[in-house]
């Protein structure tokens, strides 16, 4: 069948295929890639440490985020989801990789906290509507192709409460990630490991939200209790109450 585009979802899936087999490691086709990524727990990958993001701890300590219900997108081995649960949040966490989810579940048991882990694509996992006070994303957005920002915003519209908060940690332009224009990415058919964002690009993407803070993540030493690398940009937004 050659004329199979009838809905917006059909268009999005067609655009997804332009990035296969790369798909920048976010679609169901890429679950095996992420499983291999997480299989060697001894690998020296900064995101493997059992430490929460320094910006998350800062928001909590300053009272910018208060306990409620939280959703962690692209949770990996669960370090931020577990910290949120330890600070009194009811937490759902989603990741594409079964290996990552299994590791996160082990860590949650060891920490003595309850987190609901979901294995799947963030756009396809069944999540409650309008129930989350916080949506937390440390490294998911920058792996999405441009057209999936539409899906991302629709997901936020569906799950985040009015007055709720969005936290995004994404590759910082000038530090890490591709800075090619969106149009060029489609010509190349790849995302080159992830997309870099400037503060103004995040402001534009989330222009319907109220900006609370955008700053570089503060680097943390290997013996520090928190995670922080300067290649990430940390942003906190609040969804307006209408």
CA distance 65 to 102: 28
Quick one: pLDDT band at residue 24, thresholds 50, 70, 90? Answer: very low
Per domain, the residue ranges of the chain are 8-238
130 within 8 A of 208, measured Cβ to Cβ: no
Write the CB contacts of 220 (distance below 8 Å, at least 6 apart in sequence): 51, 54, 226, 227, 228, 229
With beta carbons less than 8 A apart as the criterion, state whether 168 and 235 touch.
Answer: yes
Tokens representing 167?
């936290």
DSSP 3-state of 110: helix
In whole numbers, what is the pLDDT of the chain averaged over residues? 93
Please report, rounded to a whole number, the percentage of residues in the chain having pLDDT higher than 70.
95
At residue 14, φ and ψ (nearest 5 deg) are -65, -45
Q: Which of 128, 218, 226, 131 lies closest to 172, judged by CA?
A: 218
Distances (CA, A) of 117 to 30, 125, 208: 19, 11, 29
pLDDT at 43: 84
- Residue 38 pLDDT > 60, yes or no? yes
For residue 30, pLDDT beyond 90: no
What is the band of 46 on the pLDDT scale with cuts at 50, 70, 90? confident
pLDDT band at residue 47 using 50, 70 and 90 as cut-offs: confident
pLDDT at position 8 is 93
Show the tokens assigned to 166.
């969005």
pLDDT of residue 205: 98
Q: How far apart are CA 155 and CA 139, in angstroms?
A: 16
Task: Give the model's pLDDT for residue 1.
Answer: 66
Least confident among 31-35, 100-104, 197-201, 205-209: 31-35
CATH superfamily of 8-238: Vaccinia Virus protein VP39 (3.40.50.150)
Summarised one tens digit per residue, pLDDT across range 85-140 is: 999 999 999 999 999 999 999 999 999 999 999 999 999 999 999 999 999 999 99
């Amino acid at each position: 069948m050659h004329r199979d585009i009838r809905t917006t979802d059909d268009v999005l899936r067609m655009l997804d295929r332009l990035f296969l087999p790369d798909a920048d490691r976010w679609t169901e086709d890429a679950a095996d890639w992420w499983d291999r990524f997480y299989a060697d727990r001894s690998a020296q990958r900064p995101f493997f440490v059992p430490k929460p993001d320094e910006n998350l701890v800062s928001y909590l300590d300053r009272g910018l985020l208060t306990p409620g219900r939280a959703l962690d997108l692209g949770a990996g081995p669960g370090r931020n989801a577990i910290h949120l649960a330890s600070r009194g949040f009811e937490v759902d966490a989603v990741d594409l990789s079964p290996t990552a989810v299994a590791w996160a579940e082990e860590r949650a048991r060891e920490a003595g906290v309850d987190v609901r882990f979901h294995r799947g694509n963030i756009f396809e996992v069944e999540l409650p509507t309008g129930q989350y006070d916080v949506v937390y994303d440390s490294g998911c957005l920058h792996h999405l192709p441009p057209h999936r920002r539409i899906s991302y915003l629709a997901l936020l519209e569906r799950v985040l409460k009015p007055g709720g908060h969005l936290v995004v940690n994404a590759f910082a332009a000038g530090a890490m990630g591709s800075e090619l224009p969106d149009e060029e990415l489609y010509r190349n058919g790849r995302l080159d490991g992830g997309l870099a964002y400037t503060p103004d690009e995040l402001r534009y993407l989330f222009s319907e939200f109220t900006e609370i803070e955008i700053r570089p993540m503060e680097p943390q030493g290997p013996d520090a209790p928190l995670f922080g690398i300067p290649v990430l940009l940390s942003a906190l937004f609040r969804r307006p109450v209408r």
